[in-house]
Structure 1
């Protein structure tokens, strides 16, 4: 697949894909005879993985560390597992914070709705 196709498939800019490759987050992508990037199915799996982890809030530095460990082979399985356990804990904390924020927003919206209803009642009251 071309960089344009991958960009469209995963809704990631071409610049971001190039950046991920440049910093080592995405393994070097093969190029065709015309020197155009030619993404394989494995490359696309990495892009999908990176996008998923980034959308969950994992920092690029953590993903670079993970990729480095992955490239070292099976002797790093424990380290990779621990890395994900720690990131999972952080994600759960962020999700709880977001849940609390959502509850607060719901409360505020309900307050606004009540205020609007009260205001409308005042406007339609017959004059005394």
Structure 2
């Protein structure tokens, strides 16, 4: 089956403008054109487009994605380069996840902080709380964030 850019954009949830940009940047060397010069996409192209979308979401640059797509088009002789690229990107994503987890921990702590203040109708309620009055998971988050931001 063949798809136009607008049909494909709905299918993979990427705007037609973005797909045209990717094509212009050379990320889609696999795309064919019909007799009228209109880009047509095959079912087989979907996997590559999902890969482009995934790599972009992971923070990979357009230049790096283009290099990856070129390696794909070159075939098996570039397996080592592609594997190394994915190993490096995996490390970056793991670091991003750890950073986001730290951010989430701080947000969870602050939600508890303000929920407690809201119930007491004052933020000063925290001044009189003993450690045992603070739920253990929140106490741990408080200590973790305190160490993280105070030791820098």
Instruction: Report the equivalent of 2:121.
Output: 119
Query: What's the offset of the Cα at 1:28?
Result: 4.7
Aligned equivalent of 1:68, options 33, 48, 70: 70
Instruction: Report the equivalent of 1:19.
Output: 21
What does the per-residue CA deviation read over 1:14-39, in whole Å, with 9 as the maximum and x for residues that have no partner? 11101111111112522223332211
Aligned equivalent of 2:91, options 89, 92, 103: 89
Structure-2-length-normalised TM-score: 0.73
Q: Write the distance in 1 (CA, Å) between the matches of 2:11 and 2:63.
A: 25
Structure 2 stretches lacking a partner, 5+ long: 123-152
Q: Is the 8 A contact 1:21 1:28 kept in 2?
A: no
Structure 1 stretches lacking a partner, 5+ long: 121-128
CA RMSD, Structure 1 to Structure 2 (Å): 1.5
SS at match of 1:26: coil
Runs of 4+ in 1 over 4 A off after TM superposition: none
Instruction: Report the equivalent of 2:44.
Output: 42
Q: Write the distance in 2 (CA, Å) between the matches of 1:34 and 1:68.
A: 26
Higher strand residue share: 2
Aligned residues: 120
Q: Is the 8 A contact 1:20 1:26 kept in 2?
A: yes
